[in-house]
Amino acid sequence: MIECGGGGGDSNDEDAEDMSGHWGILVSDPWLQNQFTQVELRSLKSHFMSMRRESGRLVIADLASKMSRLKVVGENLSEEERASCVKDVYQNTEEEVDFELFLKVYLKLQTFVNSRTGSSPKNSSAFLKAATTTLLHTISESEKASYVAHINHYLAQDEFLKKYLPIDPSTNELFEIAKDGVLLCKLINVAVPGTIDERAINTKRILNPWERNENHTLCLNSAKAIGCTVVNIGTQDFIEGRRHLVLGVISQIIKIQLLADLDLKKTPQLLELLDDSKDMEEFMNLPPEKILLRWMNFHLKKAGYKKIVTNFSSDVKDAEAYAHLLNVLAPEHTNLSTLAVKNPFERAKLVLEHADKMGCKRYLTARDIVEGSPNLNLAFVAHIFQHRNGLSAQTKQQMSLLETFPDDTQDSREERAFRLWMNSFGNSTYINNVFEDLRNGWVLLETLDKVSPGIVNWKIANKPPIKMPFRKVENCNQVVKIGKQLKFSLVNVAGNDIVQGNKKLILAYLWQLMRYNILQLLKNLRFYSRGKEINDADILEWANSKVSSSRSQSRMDSFKDKSLSDGIFFLELLSSVTPRAVNWGLVTKGVTYQEKKMNATYIISIARKLGCSIFLLPEDITEVNPKMILTLTASIMSWCLKHPHEERTVGTSDNESGGQLETTSNSTLDDSASDSSLDENGNI
């Protein structure tokens, strides 16, 4: 067990990062320095500073709840368990926490997690992130084996990958194959088809460092665009094969794929779970995991199971819920002895035999069930849902109910873009629906603090869970107040409008916040702007000038210019930024809708491969959504201005995809917008 004593001083935390973005000495204790790599220290330092900003000071009593956002100790320990563990070592809960004490508490909790889950060479693989660290990162061998089986199944017919598949789950072959980025890009397209235009993937047998880096940049930006959380993960982590990070991204991609059908639009039969048609909107706003639990409990109630399953860990460890669920879904394979067995492990084996007979034995073993592996249990139940959901065919009543529900396609696209953009900041709460999850104001305050550090007064902010409605209004009032401070157009807008979930106003606010973020990032490129305010006209002028300099006749009259729908202008813009970016042999004339969409998909993938973190869809280009067009242009502009002196012809190659770029870096510009509620200047 790690002995946790008092922490050393941590003066001038706010100044720990210098103007060039490099961190100085983060801890003075040599023992602590040896427990972490510098990458880990920077990540933990960022979390620590964020926690402290929220309340002005951080005391030991706060750590149990605030450390929920740290992956290992947050996912594997309840708040009560964290509090108990911390209290065992630190009696004075009002003691103020500095960074070194924070690290010691973190190590203490991580040790507790490892001891409780029984991490050992038998069931996990421990490895060092760097030669200088003694901090062990463990990965579940069961999870790795399950994800390898998933990859072997879904990518077996891929023309490029089939020479590497099947992967042997007993080795580290997965992480070696993932080093060139192709596997992860292909897996993203399996999860959300069409996310990446495969013409943009570098698929030579041997890639040079630039090409490999491009693939990983494309992968990371595309992963964010489908809803993965990839904060503090960079291309180098994949190139070096850091297994816990690679497996973490793979886990999220597979989870998105398995939960894709848990949506009323894709599976209208889910209406059978509703007791009242009035619950429909609330049901549509539930995250997929909650819908899956609701589906499971719906069938368990039919089976006469008395308990309510609330999670995919402790509530299913005895395998009784699974036995009842499968008896309802596949009664023809029922084994009467399953529920009579007293030993949970033996019962779990019988459950998996039942699942195997109905074609659903995938993702977990009997040991994973009794150990309560949350990721694998969720994957198992989601797979059962995909294979046999046991719901009735659509009734006329259900069809009519769906028809009466408004289909706000534009609002849905914008909501998706804003949601993914906000999630890319790595806030404490993952947003599943902006109209519901922003109503307490907290995530909006966190996002504002990321966009404009120090602008939020955390002393008057109310942290969730918030039971009193007026506390939510207080948070949202501060959100509106800050918006006005940033010169957003918020005429007759009050905090209560956000609390009430006013869709038009929320979309309007988020568009202005995103636009402000983009313009500030451009302004901060002082060598270009010299500190002056950047506006839409500057972005338009830059893009036309750039394309013109490459001797092209294309021109964009405005961000509403309908001629942009064929995508040619943006392909020429990308080509002017990086000459080898576009393989013109793959570009269509953009005459038919299908040709326009192919060009749009190619544009988005090239921009992400370049380093632009964007969240728009091909339809936003083909339909010329002016605000999405603005943010796409600004993202390309930002990347170009950050690389003013780089050689544009690096990386000569004859790769099969034809896309050639130079070394890339991740941009923080995110492209999405709301067109339904604002005019061109961002006014409501």
Q: Is the CB of residue 570 less than 8 Å from the CB of residue 621?
A: yes
| Common-topology check for domains 130-259 and 270-389 | yes
The structural domains of the chain, with segments of one domain joined by +, span 30-118, 130-259, 270-389, 409-525, 540-642
pLDDT of 533 strictly over 50: yes
- Tell me, what's the pLDDT at 528? 61
CA–CA distance, 336 with 314 (Å, rounded to integer): 24
pLDDT of 531 strictly over 50: yes
Q: Which residue has the higher pLDDT, 573 or 45?
A: 573
Q: Closest by alpha carbon to 27, among 232, 13, 19?
A: 13
pLDDT band at 241 (very low <50, low <70, confident <90, very high): confident
CA distances from 339 to 231, 322, 333 (A): 44, 10, 14
- Tell me, what's the pLDDT at 60? 85
Can you tell me the mean pLDDT for 417-445? 91
Q: What percent of the chain has a predicted confidence (pLDDT) above 70?
A: 80
- CATH class of segment(s) 270-389: mainly alpha
Q: Which residue has the higher pLDDT, 295 or 665?
A: 295
Can you tell me the mean pLDDT for 72-94? 76
Which helix (H) or strand (E) covers residue 129, if one does?
none
Q: What is the pLDDT of residues 400-418, one digit of tens each?
A: 655 655 555 666 888 899 9
DSSP output for 179-225? GGSHHHHHHHHHHSTTSS-GGGS---SS--HHHHHHHHHHHHHHHHH
pLDDT of 495 strictly over 70: yes
- Tell me, what's the pLDDT at 621? 96
- Tell me, what's the pLDDT at 29? 65
Report the range of poorest mean pLDDT among 28-32, 77-81, 432-436: 28-32
- Tell me, what's the pLDDT at 654? 36
Span between the terminal Cα atoms of the chain, in Å: 58
DSSP annotation of 136: E
pLDDT band at 546 (very low <50, low <70, confident <90, very high): very high
pLDDT band at 21 (very low <50, low <70, confident <90, very high): very low
Can you tell me the mean pLDDT for 229-239? 85
Instruction: Tell me the range of 66-80, 111-125, 309-323 where mean pLDDT is highest.
Output: 309-323
CA–CA distance, 652 with 607 (Å, rounded to integer): 19
Report the range of poorest mean pLDDT among 33-47, 116-130, 142-156: 116-130
- Tell me, what's the pLDDT at 409? 62
- Tell me, what's the pLDDT at 51? 82
Q: What is the pLDDT of residues 554-610, one digit of tens each?
A: 899 999 999 999 999 999 999 999 988 899 999 999 999 999 999 999 999 999 999
Mean pLDDT score of the chain:
81
Indicate the CATH number for domain 130-259.
1.10.418.10
**Is the domain covering 409-525 a CATH 1.10.418.10 domain?**
yes
As beta bridge partners, residue 17 has 23
Can you tell me the mean pLDDT for 215-224? 95
The answer to whether the Cα torsion of 41, 43, 44, 47 is positive or negative is: positive
Can you tell me the mean pLDDT for 432-461? 93
Report the range of poorest mean pLDDT among 26-40, 207-221, 267-281, 662-676: 662-676
| Helices 503-523/409-423 angle, 10° precision | 50
- Tell me, what's the pLDDT at 552? 83
Report the range of poorest mean pLDDT among 196-200, 234-238, 629-633: 234-238
pLDDT of 519 strictly over 60: yes
pLDDT band at 133 (very low <50, low <70, confident <90, very high): very low
Q: What percent of the chain has a predicted confidence (pLDDT) above 90?
A: 52
Q: Which residue has the higher pLDDT, 438 or 393?
A: 438
The model's pTM: 0.75
- Tell me, what's the pLDDT at 673? 33
**Is the domain covering 540-642 a CATH 1.10.418.10 domain?**
yes
pLDDT of 675 strictly over 90: no
